[in-house]
Each structure stands twice: as C-alpha cells, then as structure tokens.
Structure 1
Amino acid sequence: MKTRGKILVILFFGVFLGALDISIAGPALAAIATDIHIPENQLSLIFTLYILSNLVGLPLLGRLSDVTGRRLVFRTGLGIFILGSLITGSAEASLQLFIGRSLQGLGAAGIFPVATAVIGDIFPPDRRGRALGTIGAVFGIAFMFGPPFAALILKYFSWHYLFLLNVPVALLIFVGSYMLPGKIPQKKSSLNISGIFLMALFLVLFTLTFTYSRLQWPFDRETKFEISDLYPFATLLSFLILSWHEKRADNPVLNIQFLRIRQVLLAGLLAVGLGLSQSVFVFIPRITVDYFDVPVWKAGLMLMPAILGSAIASPLAGRLIDSQGSKIVIKTGLILASAGFIIFGLWGENLYLFYFSGILIGVGLAIRPGLNYIILNEAGATYRATAQGVLTVYVSMGQIAGTAFIGNAMATNQRGNYAFLLFGVLIAILALISFFLKKHTQEAFSEEQSTGPGEK
C-alpha cells in the first residue's frame, strides 16, 4: 500500500510537469518574441509543435510501454523531456526553440499514457477511480498554477528559466521512478513500425488541416466554408489507409476490433467531445476582456473558480467511480457542463452568472477519470498504455478542432456567446449518449472478463 502511494506521487509530479509546460508558455510569448525576434504569425508554433509531437509520440511510446515495460518508457520520456527543456531554455534562435518544444512534447508522450497504465497495473479495480481522479486533477492544478507561476518568474528572471527549472524537478522524478513496474509478463510481441508511421502521418495531417484552415462559422452567411489546400483529403486518405493496414496487422497500434466495442466507442466519442469543450478555455480570457473591460492579467485570474472547481471535482469524481461506477460521473458531469455553457452563452455578461457558469463548466468537464476508467476496464494489461494513448489522442484531436473552429468564429464574427451555446447543445447530446454506457455492475464484470485485444 505504501509503495502504491509513493508511485502515485511520482506519477502525479511527472504528469504535472508535462501539463505545466503547456500553461506556462502563454504568459511568456511576448518576452520570447521580443528576445529572439519570432514573427507573430509563428508564435503559435510554440504550442502547435508541442501538441503535434505529443500526438505523434503517443502511439509509439504507448505501444513501447506495453511491449518493453512501463519504467523504461517513463524514464525514456523523462529523458527526452529534460533534453527538450535544456534546448528550449538555452534557445537563442527560433529554430532551436522549436526543436526544444518538439522534444518536450515527444517526451511528455512517454509520461501521460504510462501514468494511467501503471494505475491499472498496480491498483485493484475498486481503488482505481480515486487514483485516476488524483492524476486527473493534475491538469486543473497545472493550468491554475502555471500562469501566476510564469508571471512571477518573468518578473524577476528571464523567460529561459521557465523551461530550465524543469530539469532538476524532472531529474528527481527520474530517480524516484525506479519504483515503477518493469516489463509485464506477456507473449513475445513486436512493434508495428509501419502502423506507428501511418498513425503519425494521419495525426500530422489532421493537425495541419485544422491549424492552417479557415473554417466556416455557421451564423455568418458571408463567410464561405473554404479550405485552401488538400490537407483534408490527405487526412481522410491517410485514415483509410491506416484503418486498412491495422485490420491486417498482428500487433495493431489502432486496434479496430477494440475500438468497435460499444463501451470503447462511446468513450472515444465522449473524449473527442471533451477535447472540443476544453478548447473554449483558450478564448475565455479574451471574451472576459470584452465583457468586463478588465486587463488581460485580471481576465486570467477570473478563470480561477472554474479551474479550481475542476481540480477539486476530479479526485472526488474518482472516489465516486469506485463506489458508483463511471456512468454516473460522466453523465452528471456532462449535464452540469452543458448547463454552464448555455448559461454563459445567454447571460455571461452578468458577473455573478459568469462565475457560476464557469464553476459548472469546470466541475462538469472533470470527467476524464471516468473515461480512463472505462479504457482500463476494457483493455487487457498488454494493451493498457496503447489504449490510453489512443484516448489521449481523441481528446487532443477535439482540442485542435475546437480551437480552430472557435478561433475562426471569433476572428470573423466576434460572437463568442454563440460558440458557448453551440457547445452547450453539443455537450447535452453527449450527455444523452452517456446513458448508453455500462452500469457499475456491468463494468465490474468487464474487468473480470477483459483480456484485451489479441489476448487469450
């Protein structure tokens, strides 16, 4: 029991470090642009390259974890993350900065899915929920802690220290990670290199499609739905090729048979919807400035109730999962989030309703532990990290698509309230879908019967 607690602490800080490096970059953009003369139209690459390299690395490092062991891949991810932090923190040119951020994202891909898989390895089913809730709270805490921490560092030091400070913390985590489980006993298995390549190609094209496309805002008749290049067609083609290849692979990265399981399919849809919903937090500070005429730094602080609500709700949701199952947590969370989005869209200019709706959204979107729980139950031990990596990919794809959609809507119409109303309706639909998830007793039976894709 004590060993489990220590491992959970190591996993918590590992995930926290990777999540923190997303939230601390925003406040530093102005300083970075001034110091190393990055054009404004390239600043988004500081985020995009991190997310893209993370997406590409998830299927590779997730599968490696299932084949070679959790500890090795976790430490490998940390090592790559440390190298990326050193390169980023010492950057004197944009190319060096972009390479460093790419390595950081790739390193984080060896941390996120492994952390969840380890919980499935060492915690019994009736205690997994609270452990997943603890890890799920990390992202809320990181997003809450990141901006003020970055502002404090930038006030007294150079922006370089935001990334260099990762190094000693990551080294401590690396030392403590010896407690993580090694290789899981299983039949001899090989890496599906061609499948990993095709998966990476699809994710790169998907990201390029939504990063460099102009999407139509449905309430503006003058704006045409126009995508200037062939990225969308290439994305579709790469997905079809990937699906065809993986159906015939002995060790598929994207196990089509596994994804057809109803519980897994529903979790995937909900994960994409979760990512879409989370994307609005990128734009709330800008909307807040317009609504309440406050400076940008204060607009960021006004998000704290929502972020704090999510950080508190996530571990509570984990405990509820252990006693009542994932369905009640996901269903209730989506209903609360839908109400929050609709209230914000209709009456967000009222300060009290702004805070109230923010809390509802923050608490409601703390459903990630429930989705992780579903995947852990349905995937066998030798497919856990791969499956968790695919779930993370779903969430990230939703975030990328949502950010592009809302960003274009606000750039062309300045009507953020419509986006919130639209997402409120979307989440309400997802809440209805969640009614088809298994009950707690059925989940327990799935855990007993689960051997995972391709296992006997």
Structure 2
Amino acid sequence: MLSTDPNKDKAATELTVHNEIQPVLDTHVNKDYVPDEYREIDNGDIAVDALGGTVHDLPKGYYRSKNFIGTLIALCLALTSCYFGFVMPANVLGIINEDIGPNPNYVWVSMIVSWNLTQAVAFVLVGRLSDLLGRRWFFIGGNAIGLIGSIIACTAHNIPVLIIGTALIGIGAGVQLSFGIVIGELIPNKYRGLGISCIFVSALPTTAFGPVIIRAIIDNTKAGWRWSYYINVIILAITVALFYFCYHPPTYEQLHARSTRRVPWWKMVDFLGIILFTGGLLVFLLGLSWGGSVYPWKSGHVIGFLVGGAAMLILLVVWEIWGAGEYPLIPMKFFKNRQYIGTILTAAVGSMVYYSLLVLWPMQISVLYETDSMAIGWKSCIVSAASLLGQGLCGVLVRVLGRHKLQMMVGISTLTAFTGAMAATTPFTPHMAVAFIFLASVFLGYVENVALTIGPFCLDPGDLGLALGLLGATRSTLATTAQAIFVTILNNKLIVNIPKYVIPAVTNAGLPQSSVDALLAGLSVGNFTAVPDITPTIVMAAVASNKEAYSQSFKIVYLAAIAFGGCGILAALNAPNSESKFTDIIPRKMHDKNLDNKVAQSKVVDTEN
C-alpha cells in the first residue's frame, strides 16, 4: 500500500537509491576489502564491483549477454570502418584527384594532416582521458566524429573539403584502433593476443581486399570512389548505436569510488598539456609534410613549422614534469620504463614500413609491373592481407611460444631483411617483389600484435588506455615521419634518375634533342601526342627507361628502410618476456546500463539534501 505522506515516500526513495549505489559511490571503503586475487588489477580507487577478477567471478552468462556481444560487434564494425576510411581511398588517390581536383595537396588525404596525425592525437587523448573519466562516451563520441567526417567526405566536391572530412575520420580512427583497450579489459589476460587478432581478422574484407573492392566499385558505379564513404556512413551509424546501447564499462564514479577524496573530473584533465601536445604535433608534422613537396626543405615555412612544433613539444615535457600536477596528460615516468619503450618503438618501426608501403607499393606496381586497374588492385592487397595473416598467427602463437623478446627480435629482423631485399627487385622480377612484400608484411603484422599484447603488461592495469594510446601515437607519428622521408627520397632520386636513364634512351632511339622536354612532360602524364617527331620505337624506349629510373629510385628507398629496421632490432632487445602475465585475470567488467541512471539519481538526491 502506498504511503500518503510525501516525506516518507521521499525518504524511502533516498534509502533505496543509497543502498543500490553505495558500493559504487562510497569513498571510504578500506583498501583491504579487496580480495587477494584482485590485487593484480586493483589501482586503489576503483569500486570493487567493477573489478573483473576471473571468469568465475563474473555474472552468469556475462560473455553471452547482449551487452558483451553487442560491444564486440561494435568493435569489429568500427575497425572495418577504419579501413574503409583509409585503405580504400589511399589506393585510388590519383583517381580521386582527377575527379575533384587537380590539387597538389591531394596526397594529404592519406598522409600527414588528414589521417595519421589526427589519429596520433586521438590515441593519447582517448587513452589517457578514458583511464581517468571512463571509456563509454569516448568510444561513442569518437565514432560519431568519424561518422560526421564520412558524411563530409562522401559529399566533397574539392580536395580541401575531402581533407577536412578525412581529418575527422582520422580522429575516429584513433578511437577505432584503440579497440585493444576494450579487449584488454574485458577478457582474461591469457587470451588478450587472441582477442586482438580476432578483431583484426573481422575486418578481413576491407583490410585484405579493400584495393580490389574500391576499384571494382569505381569501374561499376556512377558514384565511384564516393561509395567508400557512403558505406562508411552506414557502418558507423550502426556502430554508434551499438556502443550507446551495449557498452557500459566502469563509470567515472566507479573508477574513483574508493578514493580518499573526491576530485572533480575537470581537475583531472590536463588542458594545457592537451594544447601543447596537439598543437606541437600538428605544427611539427605539418612542416615535415611540406618539406620537399609543397616547399623546399630550406624554406621559411618548413623551418618555421618544424622549429615551432619542436619548441611546443619541448614545453610539453617541461610542463608535464614540473607543472601538470597529479594528473599529467603523459606521465614522464613511463619513459623510464625500458621494457615498455622498447616494445612501442619496435612496433613503431613496423608501422613506419606498413604505412609507407601502403602508398609506395601500389605506385611501384603501376609503374613497373601492371597497367590494368584490377590487376593493380589485387597486387595492392598483398600488404594489408599479409599483415592481417601475421596478426592472426600471432594471436594463436604469442602465448604458446612465450619468450616474447625473442619473438619481437625475430619478427623485426625478418621484416627488415625482406624489406631490404626489395632493393634487389627490378622491372623484370615481379614475382620476387610480390614474395618479398608478402613475407615482410606477415612479420610486420606479427610484430604489431605482439606489441599490442605485451605492451600494457609493462604498466599498471589502471594505465591500460594510456599504455596503448602512447603506443598508437608513437606508431602513427613515426609512420608519418617515415612517409615523408621515403616519399622525399623517392622524389629526389626520380629528379636525378629520370633524365639520367630516359634522355639517353630516347635520343639513341632517334628523338631530336629539341623534343626531349616535351617527351619528359608527356611521360609524367602518360600521353605523348604533343611530342614532335615521336615514333613507336621512341615510346617503347621512353617507357622502358622510365621503368629503370623508377626501379633505381625505389631501390634507394628500400635500402633506407634497413636503417629504420636496425633501430627496431635495437629496440626489441629491451622488450620484456611476459609469460607470467598471461593469467586468468580479467581487469574490469561491464555493468548493467541502469547503473548510469542510478548514479544520476543519487546526484539529484545529494543536491536536494
């Protein structure tokens, strides 16, 4: 029977809310209350009911619940979206530029500002802030930003607008590629590598066959390359909905329920650190992207941006050490952890090769080996498909083989060997080139998954997000740097080698010296109709010698990659052996969505009181 006394009803409501939410909000629970088996995953503040423990400590049917399954599907779709927004457009940049260009900055759609850079910033911000404030809204919001970017990109009618859309997609990609944070928290440690590889494999169609899919779409649809972004809009709309309804990780209140003092969320955000980190990285890498392409390396634009960006990053370090206080954006103590730094630098070298090959390998195929669009697409699949195979193999073998330092050393050494071996390929050795690229990419994927699996084991469980965030940001930043370096080397060598090999060949074939400049101009666009005195024999000589010029130029790029690989081998010497970490422990568990409403209701009650 309901009471007619409103004061009694209010008191009853307050008591009910208090009893239900107290385990989450209580700030005075003694740390000794935590069971011994949870010590490995307890950071001293988190509510006991948010700790995972082992499989036996989870609610019945936890891994069969709609929340857990919905979260997994959301992670898989998010990663699929990530590759739709990058791998596909990256393979048809020339076609896109012809359609809505031409614009010399079209390469930014897959390079500095538009993807890797924004992704690097997002990695750190999402990793660090979600450790402190809770992960739910970062994964919802990040994918929503990617959705907005895809809508902008699919409607773009010029390159600058497409770059803006891709930059937003890059922010979303930083969240999407942070799926290891979610997997690392919700499944037993011993299955972490397998879980990460399963998410990678779920994106098989776009990861492995994206180049073929996008070229088939272009050949058979009126909208062409825009379908890459149309499909991305559909995928991301579903992804955002799944994260909203299914993903309920520990809340901000749960993460700090046992703290001896309540700190407002905004005091945990290092705003100045965010400004210095984001601004410094953007300015520095923008200057790096301009060097040798938009402006000469010695120009004031390039030097000014490089120096300005570096200065901001130096100020960031000073601020993080002496001014950021209790909650710095990037705790400098992490850089004293030799095993962690060795792990992320090894992974970074792999990514430097990966993202560079995604751009350079299709170019090499089209110039040296194939002219048919679909044939170029199929061969372009090799890098992503083989790296996916390596990631899958790692998921199966990383725990079984153990000796993770040796795994990383063998992986990065083999990657370096086969990448360097590409310097021996010529226009007449297409099968050898395919074999070397395939083997290099397999070990590239293997190394990446080992690093994602064992890197967080070097730090506290409460720093899982930042551990993977720094790893991802380091990989993206150095990959961007490597792209700029490799493309600059290639362009500089082509400037020398094309005249060196083409001019003697065509003049010996009968081309007058007065027509050489016109032929070189025609060679760059593949059209010789404007060249005076041109003959089929001269065309054949020009094409053959141009291939040789490119072959010699690519050789220098691959030899330069050996130097980066050597740095990766040295870094791998510091990687840990983490066999003891592959346990049944589960760091965190999701809760029922009603908890968010109870927390909000408790705050209303506290305010009224």
TM-score range, shorter chain: 0.7 to 0.9
The one-letter amino acid paired with 1:182 is P
1:276 partnered with 2:352: yes
The 1:425–1:137 alpha-carbon spacing in structure 2 relative to 1, beyond 3 Å, is farther
Equivalence for 2:407: 329
CA–CA distance in structure 2, aligned partners of residues 140 and 244 of structure 1: 43
RMSD value, Cα? 2.8
User: Which is worse superposed, 383-392 or 237-246?
Assistant: 383-392
Equivalence for 1:454: none
- The CA deviation at 1:406 is 1.2
CA–CA distance in structure 1, aligned partners of residues 389 and 69 of structure 2: 19
The 1:16–1:412 alpha-carbon spacing in structure 2 relative to 1, beyond 3 Å, is same
SS at match of 2:86: helix
User: Which is worse superposed, 133-142 or 392-401?
Assistant: 133-142
The 1:351–1:16 alpha-carbon spacing in structure 2 relative to 1, beyond 3 Å, is same
2:118 to 49, 53, 59: 53
2:143 to 78, 84, 90: 78
Q: Is the 8 A contact 1:65 1:73 kept in 2?
A: yes
Equivalence for 1:237: 311
1:390 partnered with 2:466: no
Equivalence for 2:362: 285
SS at match of 1:207: helix
Equivalence for 2:134: 69
CA–CA distance in structure 2, aligned partners of residues 237 and 318 of structure 1: 40
Unaligned runs of 5+ residues in structure 1 are: 216-223, 450-456
- The CA deviation at 1:351 is 2.8
- The CA deviation at 1:68 is 2.9
Equivalence for 1:426: 564
Q: Is the 8 A contact 1:306 1:362 kept in 2?
A: yes
The one-letter amino acid paired with 2:455 is I
The one-letter amino acid paired with 2:420 is I
1:180 to 247, 260, 273: 247
CA–CA distance in structure 1, aligned partners of residues 299 and 344 of structure 2: 26
The one-letter amino acid paired with 1:179 is C
- The CA deviation at 1:258 is 1.3
Aligned length: 438
1:16 partnered with 2:93: no
The 1:238–1:271 alpha-carbon spacing in structure 2 relative to 1, beyond 3 Å, is farther
Equivalence for 1:204: 282
Q: Is the 8 A contact 1:141 1:308 kept in 2?
A: no
Equivalence for 1:44: 107
CA–CA distance in structure 2, aligned partners of residues 338 and 62 of structure 1: 30
- The CA deviation at 1:257 is 0.2
CA–CA distance in structure 1, aligned partners of residues 586 and 143 of structure 2: 33
- The CA deviation at 1:140 is 7.1
Give runs of aligned pairs for residues 4-403 of structure 1, distance below 5 A.
7-36=71-100, 38-47=101-110, 48-113=113-178, 115-137=179-201, 142-154=206-218, 155-158=220-223, 159-177=225-243, 178-184=245-251, 185-187=254-256, 188=263, 190-214=268-292, 226=298, 228=300, 229-248=303-322, 249=324, 250-278=326-354, 279-292=356-369, 294-295=371-372, 297-325=374-402, 326-347=404-425, 349=427, 350-366=429-445, 367-403=447-483
User: Which is worse superposed, 339-348 or 201-210?
Assistant: 339-348
CA–CA distance in structure 1, aligned partners of residues 564 and 456 of structure 2: 26
Equivalence for 2:56: none
Equivalence for 2:547: none
- The CA deviation at 1:301 is 2.1
User: Which is worse superposed, 404-413 or 6-15?
Assistant: 6-15
Identity %: 19
User: Which is worse superposed, 13-22 or 151-160?
Assistant: 151-160
CA–CA distance in structure 1, aligned partners of residues 80 and 203 of structure 2: 7
SS at match of 1:437: coil
CA–CA distance in structure 2, aligned partners of residues 160 and 351 of structure 1: 31
- The CA deviation at 1:314 is 0.6
The 1:40–1:90 alpha-carbon spacing in structure 2 relative to 1, beyond 3 Å, is closer
The 1:169–1:32 alpha-carbon spacing in structure 2 relative to 1, beyond 3 Å, is same
CA–CA distance in structure 2, aligned partners of residues 40 and 442 of structure 1: 54
CA–CA distance in structure 2, aligned partners of residues 210 and 136 of structure 1: 30
Larger radius of gyration: 2
Listed one character per residue, the Cα deviations across residues 140-164 of structure 1 (whole Å, up to 9, x for unaligned) are 7534322222122223131333212
The 1:225–1:299 alpha-carbon spacing in structure 2 relative to 1, beyond 3 Å, is same
The 1:335–1:72 alpha-carbon spacing in structure 2 relative to 1, beyond 3 Å, is same
CA–CA distance in structure 2, aligned partners of residues 91 and 225 of structure 1: 31
- The CA deviation at 1:128 is 0.5
- The CA deviation at 1:118 is 0.7
The one-letter amino acid paired with 2:175 is G
CA–CA distance in structure 2, aligned partners of residues 214 and 297 of structure 1: 32
Q: Is the 8 A contact 1:276 1:399 kept in 2?
A: yes
- The CA deviation at 1:296 is 5.6
- The CA deviation at 1:429 is 4.4
Q: Is the 8 A contact 1:346 1:417 kept in 2?
A: yes
CA–CA distance in structure 2, aligned partners of residues 206 and 341 of structure 1: 28
CA–CA distance in structure 2, aligned partners of residues 139 and 266 of structure 1: 28
The one-letter amino acid paired with 2:440 is I
- The CA deviation at 1:374 is 2.5
CA–CA distance in structure 1, aligned partners of residues 160 and 358 of structure 2: 29
- The CA deviation at 1:22 is 0.4
Equivalence for 1:453: none
2:490 to 377, 394, 410: 410
Give the TM-score normalised by the residue count of structure 2.
0.66
- The CA deviation at 1:81 is 1.4
Q: Is the 8 A contact 1:333 1:363 kept in 2?
A: no
- The CA deviation at 1:323 is 2.4
Listed one character per residue, the Cα deviations across residues 307-350 of structure 1 (whole Å, up to 9, x for unaligned) are 32221221210222222343343222212212211221124552
The one-letter amino acid paired with 2:348 is V
SS at match of 2:83: helix
Q: Is the 8 A contact 1:317 1:329 kept in 2?
A: no
SS at match of 2:255: coil
Unaligned runs of 5+ residues in structure 2 are: 1-62, 257-262, 495-552, 588-609
Equivalence for 1:219: none
Q: Is the 8 A contact 1:88 1:163 kept in 2?
A: yes
